[in-house]
Amino acid sequence: MAAIEATQGDITALALDAIVNAANESLLGGGGVDGAIHRAAGPGLLEECRTLGGCPTGEARITGGHRLKARHVIHAVGPVWRGGARGEDALLAGCYRASFALAVAHGIRSIAFPAISTGVYRFPRDRACRIAVTETRSFTARSTAVDRIVFCCFDAETLALYRQELGL
């Protein structure tokens, strides 16, 4: 069974096979964790992202890690929160599922996720945390392809939510 961890810090510092980016449909960068990842990875990441032609909400695309310690970046596009009746839950779950599918396809054995959609996109943090943990447990119950899954929380409140949800 894969180890599922929650930690507080900057995802760009993690030396894992892949880190996940909370991107937008353009895949051409932005603020928040997306901005931090592009700054740390250097201009080669944007160049590679330009070749992808964007990504629909609820899906993900993979690139190299460029100057990051991580070998790959999985760019997942979370939904903007619009009250919860516009398919937001399913779209957010889709980000995690698509990220795991890419991880398996690319032989990624260790991966870190930020709290996708819970910043600029305003998805309620507790609800997003439950979805992230549910999708992760459902993945680890059916696959042993990934050994280590890290929820990288930027602030203490988010970390506390994940710890509670994971029973840590």
Residue closer to ligand AR6, measured from CB, 145 or 148: 148
Q: Quote the least distance from Cβ 47 to ligand AR6, whole Å.
A: 17
Whole-angstrom distance, CA of residue 65 vs CA of residue 41? 6
Amino acid making up residue 167: G
Could you give the angle at the alpha carbon of 46 between the alpha carbons of 90 and 93, nearest 5°? 10
Residue closer to ligand AR6, measured from CB, 32 or 54: 32
Let me know if 10 is a catalytic residue: no
Which positions lie near ligand AR6, rule CB under 6 A?
10-12, 22-24, 30-34, 36, 78, 114-121, 152, 154-155, 158
Count CB atoms within 10 A of the CB of residue 27: 23
Cα torsion 147, 152, 158, 163 to 10°: value is 30
Q: What are phi and psi of 120, to 5 degrees?
A: -55, -35
Q: Which residues contact 53 (CB under 8 A, 6 or more apart)?
A: none
> Choosing from 10, 17, 34, 126, which is the catalytic residue?
34
Q: Quote the least distance from Cβ 28 to ligand AR6, whole Å.
A: 8
Residue closer to ligand AR6, measured from CB, 9 or 107: 9
Q: What residues act catalytically?
A: 34
